[in-house]
Chains A and B, each alone.
Chain A
Amino acid sequence: MSHGKRALADWTTGAEAIVYQSCAACGSLQYFHRSFCRACGAPDPIEKRASGEGTVYAASLVVRAATPETRAHVPYNIVLVDTVEGFRMMAHGDNDLAIGDRVTARFSQFAGRLVPYFARTKIMRVRSASRRKHESFTASKR
């Protein structure tokens, strides 16, 4: 685990939450927990709970996994999400997510762990093309 005490539990410790840090001195945000601000070095950045809203920045559907535990889940989509709060995070998501999709987080079980999982924000569902299978994954071509 990372250094420093945590005020708020998050998914990395099994709680259904996404937590980030905000520096009181310079205002920088960071997702990876530290006991200091990586931008200005000020100690004890404030921990905040994220809303779970964001936009897909990148996506890669994993078809070849490396352990028996993760292989049970293939294919699973690894996504980078730019949160509305302004930090980027890695998570799982629906297999047909495309770059630019507005997404909302929930939590799911993966290989014995709790992980953040993003699905398209409800309002966007109308134009969803969820029938696409991984063979026709075209997120990158749009």
Chain B
Amino acid sequence: MSFITGVGLTAFGRHEGSSSLDLMSKAAELAVADAGLTRAEIDGVLCGYSTVAPHIMLATVFAEHFGIRPTYAHAVQVGGATGLAMTMLAHHLVKARVVRHVLVVSGENRLTGQSRDASILALAQVGHPDYEVPLGPTIPAYYGLVASRYMHEYGVTEEDLAEFAVLMRKHALAHPGAQFHEPITVTDVMKSKPVALPLKLLDCCPVSDGGAAFVVSRERTSETGVRVLGCAQAHTHQHVTAAPALSELGAEIAIARAKQAAGVAISDVRYAAVYDSFTITLVMLLEDLGLAARGEAAARVRSGYFRRGGEMPLNTHGGVLRYGHCGVGGAMAHLVETQLQMTGRAGNRQVRDASIALLHGDGGVLSSHVSMFLELTR
């Protein structure tokens, strides 16, 4: 068994003067304290990457900086799926009794540490160096391509996509750590600057500074435990040019395997945390995961289904779309929020029932997927 015993999250936005290591340390400190542990008790470290300060041994660098000597440590890189991939690995490491407490940590000063152009350029390199990158695509363009096809096949409109930006902003309003605190409307999204059509500025996640961390332990460290029920991955391609048909995408493969590993059905899920780098990402993943039928996700947003008080509260912190996106830590905030919801500590954002949660992360251009189910145990 494995439990998410502690979580830590910084505010996202501008952290002028903070390095990636600073942000990692801040989040790690919060998570270790939240788990009721001391630094010396952490014997495993998994960390993501920083595009601002790339390093071939980031976990070791972090461990030295943070002042710990783990018996197991390395970095993991799977783009937006990194956070959940690390959680999955931590789950298996503690289950296999390799370590007792794994600190999963990431942080990056992506907003103030480099220019927006540099961020966009760094991320565009997920494209093929010979056959894609010379054409000048950006990450929004890769997802713009996917969006154009998905909208064509399933009759999804730009207004439908906009609903998700509005919902995430609404949720972010209730979180003091979120990067954005002004409400927006569908019209605002439709009128926002075109980036890579059909995606406009408000369909895209921002670039942020921030850090996130959690501790995955063999035993619970407090009365309420959040247990990893089961998880699975799928990797179908790297480049959008080589992506399979929309009906064969990795999210469906990953969720099918995760359901089997966890022994649960989608109907058991009470809270959803789904990666949302762009509005189209969220729409497609919700429909791939079975949280909405094909082409119906937007209707479910309009009916309030994914709201805090709805049947399936979704990304109640605002997701990477509106809480912010600092790289690996961005998607980790989904898990931090889920753990807070499950343990009844989400304050003004608290949902009625988050006893079973579904998390899903995606890296690349819907390339790498991790699905995970968590369960509250008392």
Interface residues of A (CB under 8 A from B): 1-2, 12, 31-33, 57-67, 70, 73, 75-76, 78-80, 88-92, 99, 110-111, 113, 115, 134-135, 137, 139-142
Contact = CB atoms under 8 A, between A and B. Distances in A.
Interface string B55-78: 000000000000000000000000
Given A64-B196, A99-B152, A115-B134, 6 more contacts: A32-B130, A61-B196, A63-B194, A73-B136, A88-B241, A90-B128
B158 interface: yes
A12 B131 CA distance: 7
29 contacts: A12-B131, A12-B134, A58-B148, A58-B152, A59-B148, A60-B142, A60-B148, A60-B197, A61-B144, A62-B137, A63-B194, A64-B140, A64-B195, A64-B196, A73-B136, A76-B136, A78-B141, A78-B145, A78-B196, A79-B145, A80-B241, A88-B241, A90-B132, A91-B135, A110-B135, A139-B152, A140-B147, A140-B149, A140-B198
A70 B148 contact: no
B151 A113 contact: no
Contacts of B197: 60-61, 63, 134, 137
Interface of B: 117, 120-121, 124, 128, 130-132, 134-138, 140-142, 144-149, 151-152, 157-158, 193-199, 239-242
Given A66-B121, A110-B135, A137 B198 contact: yes
Contacts of A110: 134-136
A57 to B, nearest CB: 6
Given A64-B138, A66-B120, A111-B136, A12 B130 contact: yes
B108 to A, nearest CB: 18
Contacts of A59: 145, 148
Nearest to A88: B241
A52 B125 CA distance: 26
Contacts of A80: 145, 149, 240-241
Main secondary structure of the interface of B (DSSP, over half): helix
A64 B117 CA distance: 10
A107 to B, nearest CB: 12
Looking at B130, B131, B144, which has the most chain A CB atoms within 10 Å of its CB? B131
A139 to B, nearest CB: 6
A79 B144 CA distance: 10
Nearest to B194: A63
A63 B195 contact: yes
B240 A113 contact: no
A58 B137 CA distance: 13
Nearest to B201: A64
A135 B311 CA distance: 36
B238 to A, nearest CB: 10
B242 A32 contact: yes
B136 A65 contact: yes
A4 B242 CA distance: 20
B241 A60 contact: no
B145 A140 contact: no
Interface centre among A64, A65, A67, A76 (most CB of B within 10 A): A64
A63 B148 CA distance: 15
B117 A60 contact: no
A113 B129 CA distance: 13
B194 A135 contact: yes
A140 B146 CA distance: 10
A124 B349 CA distance: 54
B151 A140 contact: yes
A141 to B, nearest CB: 6
A61 to B, nearest CB: 4
Contacts of B120: 64, 66
B138 A99 contact: no
B155 to A, nearest CB: 8
B150 to A, nearest CB: 8
B360 to A, nearest CB: 23
Contact of B194 (A32, A61, A73, A92): A61
A98 B225 CA distance: 52
Pairs of residues from A and B, 5 with the lowest C-beta to C-beta distance, nearest first: A60-B144, A140-B151, A66-B120, A70-B136, A63-B194
